[in-house]
Amino acid sequence: MSTVSKPVPHKFLEARIVSQRYSYSGNSVKSHFFLPYTNATTGRRSSSRREILLIYRGPIGGAAVPERKPLSVVHMASSNVDNKDDRISRISSSIRVIPDFPKPGIMFQDITTLLLDPKAFKDTIDLFVERYKDKNINVVAGVEARGFIFGPPIALAIGAKFVPMRKPKKLPGEVISEEYSLEYGTDKIEMHVGAVQPGERAVVVDDLIATGGTLTAAINLLERVGVEVVECACVIELPELKGRDRLGEKQLFVLVSST
């Protein structure tokens, strides 16, 4: 007989406000809770600085966690999403982190728990739809495998076609492929010939960006056949792996950033 472990309740141990200057990428800024920064000397608000509320937490009734980390932060386009949008915290809290999976040292970001929460799942899709509904997008390209979860509902909502970007030997028709490097060796991503047309505008969708190799391959594959890749869209970013840097000047829209 199997047993189900009970979730550990948490209480807030500390909350503090930190003034910080942020580097911008396109029209996005890295933060979770935005608070306007006011210069104490001039009394004017600055557009280049923000104050971010960092909240730390630990088990109720126990000692503080030795290495406390802030809750997830967010990369959002401030022109598209209310900075205090409560959908973000709902999405973030619904994502389960599993340590040492699939191998020791990996903190696996499990989006299956998000999918079990209809409200959080809908919020996720809605945020992407709000982002792309007026950008004349013809193609939503979903990267195997979890890009297949988020891509189709986005495509349907904005009136675009969904194109699967698959691993080798998964598509039955004639394919075009792009090879990319892994930590050890290489892999490929493939797309059906004729699935997209030159001049179409695409968004590449995946659940998570880590090193950025798969997204870069998807971009290269689409651009080889004349498609304009407007942006990449992911639910989660692992910023310590610097996948954003690998994308170069290509825009990246991310809802939740792991800390």
CA dist 84 → 61, 95, 225 (Å)? 30, 19, 40
- Selecting among 21, 67, 174, 183, the annotated active-site residue is 183
Q: Are 140 and 158 in contact (CB under 8 A)?
A: yes
Identity of residue 224: R
Q: What DSSP letter does each residue of 78-105 carry, written as one string?
A: TTTS-TT-HHHHHHHHH-EEEET-SSTT
183 in active site: yes
Beta bridge partners of 38: 45
- Selecting among 57, 146, 166, 244, the annotated active-site residue is 146
**What is the β-pairing status of strands 228-237 and 161-165?**
unpaired
Identity of residue 137: I
Q: Are 180 and 214 in contact (CB under 8 A)?
A: yes
Burial of 107 (0-12, 13-18, 19+ CB in 10 A): exposed
244 in active site: no
DSSP E strand boundaries for the chain: 10-21, 28-31, 34-38, 45-59, 74-77, 96-99, 107-110, 139-143, 161-165, 175-181, 186-192, 201-209, 228-237, 252-257
Identity of residue 143: V
Active-site residues: which are they?
Answer: 146, 183
